[in-house]
Structure 1
Amino acid sequence: MTTPADRPVPTSSPAAPGGPGTAPEEWEQAGVRLEVDGALATVTLCHPKRRNAQTPAMWRALAAVGSSLPGSVRVVLLRAEGVSFSAGLDRAMFTPEGIPGEPNFLSLAATSDEETDAVIAGFQEGFSWWRRPDVITVAAVQGHAVGAGFQLALACDLRVVADDVQFAMKETALGLVPDLTGTKPLVALVGYARALEICVTGRWVYAEEAVAGGLANLAVPAAELDAAARDLAGALLAAPRNAVIETKALLQGAVDRGYDEQRAAERAAQTRRMRDLAGLGD
């Protein structure tokens, strides 16, 4: 398979640390690199030799990236180096030895419900910020996107995939469930019945089905993936920021609102936009 994501990202400015004990150098050691170029931020999974297998350290880095984004950022592009977007969870977490310094599943299972819930909630923080209202996030996905990798792609608003993409949700086959925020967007995109079938069978979903079923916005030849994702990012940046934020909020809330509630939300949003354009906003 070709590896278009190995091409260098355009020059950018360094990002600020995400909080105590975190810094861009530590993020990169965990397999995450952040580059900011004006209104565009690029997050790269950068452990290609390990097929970007995910660890708690990577999840902490992803969470820190989200909290460190400058206010100027409007679009976040998520990409990965190597032949695979992410082969999923590092299997060392299933072994008695585990990953040094990290809880393995045996030790996590032995904690109280409250402790286990808190640990998993911490893991989820690396996945939950991608749908925040002030940015639009785009995942450029090639090769394998398995389990946690699939859920990270689902965390984004939009997905552009290479024609060699292979999505799969393998957690159920391991006796677990998808718990990294992937279940809600999967159901929203493909419906309950298809989502249930994909998760329980753990089967592969390829590019053609991903586009036809709503998992991906666009499929392109692998060599064109980065360019296609950046073209989409450029188109997203062309629209006025406040209008984009209002539109995203309207669409995100549409699933849970009734018809009349959505009509009212549209009126309120349009009133705010008109007043802002007329210079009458707060």
Structure 2
Amino acid sequence: MSTDIPDADRTAWEKAGVRLELDGELATVTLCDPARRNAQTPAMWRALAAVGRALPGDVRVVLLTAEGSSFSAGLDRAMFTPEGIPGETGFLRLAASTDAELDAAIASYQAAFTWWRRNDLVTIAAVRGHAVGAGFQLALACDLRVVAEDVQFAMKETALGLVPDLAGTKPLTELVGYARALEICATGRRVGAEEAVATGLANLAVPAADLDAAAADLAAALLAAPRAAVIETKALLRGAIDRSYDQQRAAEREAQARRLRDLAGM
């Protein structure tokens, strides 16, 4: 894929609150609407999905970060009002659509959250301050999470009479288990840095001033490993939860055979 991304696309993405920076094998995606605490809109979701499609093929690691004191305060509440957001279909109008139209709309929103799990990428979320609702789910979309000590994760959808529907329920359950995931989602309570690390929700917690450096160090460590081996390893680990022990052993053998033959030039 070409590394040349049209300036018009970059400008449109930034207007929607998303900035993409490329540095060789590293891509940095920044939520850049700090005045609104990076509140999420369908336009932001379209921009995030477009960024995923536009990434050059040589990108190996994607770092997701945010400007300001909060990672993302979640969904823009204007989506719930009769006025809605200009140019967007508000939730009240969406609720009146057909089943197929409603399903298609939610699927289009989810596209912003799904590409982060691709096997050819390792994705890192650097999270500070509030990561609420859609913000929490965007952090969960990434493979790894480095958090500031002031982080506050919360899944507020249930309190609004909704469910988390932006592809966050599976990674949350995989990370912390069913019982804790249910309690976090049903109560909407805040999860701080210490609990996030203790439960596996975050890989590392650091002082807020050190967050960017810690995330950059992790990205550098990932880039130091051979790409093909990382891709195979990620695929093995992602598939492990759905395989039996014997199926996983077989998958390991198949992956190792590919690696050995590749290294031997066969």
Question: Taking every aligned residue pair, what percent have the same amino acid on both sides?
Answer: 78
**1:116-151 deviation per Cα after TM superposition (whole angstroms, max 9, x unaligned):** 000000000000000001000000000000000000
Partner of 1:130: 116
Partner of 1:78: 64
| Partner residue in 1 for 2:35 | 49
1:239 is matched with which residue?
Answer: 225
For residue 17 of structure 1, report the CA deviation from its aligned partner.
Answer: 4.8
Aligned equivalent of 1:223: 209
User: Does 2:141 align with 1:155?
Assistant: yes
| Displaced runs of 4 or more, over 3 A | none
When the two chains are superposed, the root-mean-square deviation of aligned CA atoms in Å is: 1.3
Q: CA deviation at 1:56?
A: 0.1
* CA shift for structure 1 position 16: 1.5
2: CA distance, partners of 1:164 / 1:15? 37
Trace 1:33-182 onto structure 2 (pairs within 5 A): 33-182=19-168
Deviations 1:73-93 (A, max 9, x none): 000000000000000000000
Shift of 1:221: 0.1
Question: How far apart, in 2, do the equivalents of 1:275 and 1:196 lie?
Answer: 44
Partner secondary structure for residue 48 of structure 2 = helix
Alpha carbons of 1:15 and 1:27: their partners in 2 closer, same or farther (altered >3 Å)?
farther
- Whole-angstrom CA distance in 1 between matches of 2:62 and 2:234: 15
C-alpha separation in 2, matches of 1:120 and 1:75:
27
TM-score by length of 1: 0.93
Structure 2: runs of 5+ lacking an equivalent: none
Q: Secondary structure at the match of 1:23?
A: helix
**Alpha-carbon distance, 1:199 to partner:** 0.1
Q: Aligned pair in 2 of structure 1 residues 210, 71: CA closer, same or farther (>3 Å)?
A: same
Alpha-carbon spacing, 1:78–1:26, altered in 2? closer, same or farther (3 Å): same
TM-score (norm 2): 0.98
Does 2:5 align with 1:16?
yes
- Supply the distance in 1 between the matched residues of 2:183 and 2:4 (Cα, whole angstroms): 40
The alignment of Structure 1 onto Structure 2 pairs a total of residues equal to 265
SS class of match (2:131) = strand
Q: Unaligned regions of 5+ residues in structure 1, if any?
A: 1-13
Among 229, 249, 271, the residue aligned to 2:235: 249
Task: Report the secondary structure of 1:279's partner residue.
Answer: coil
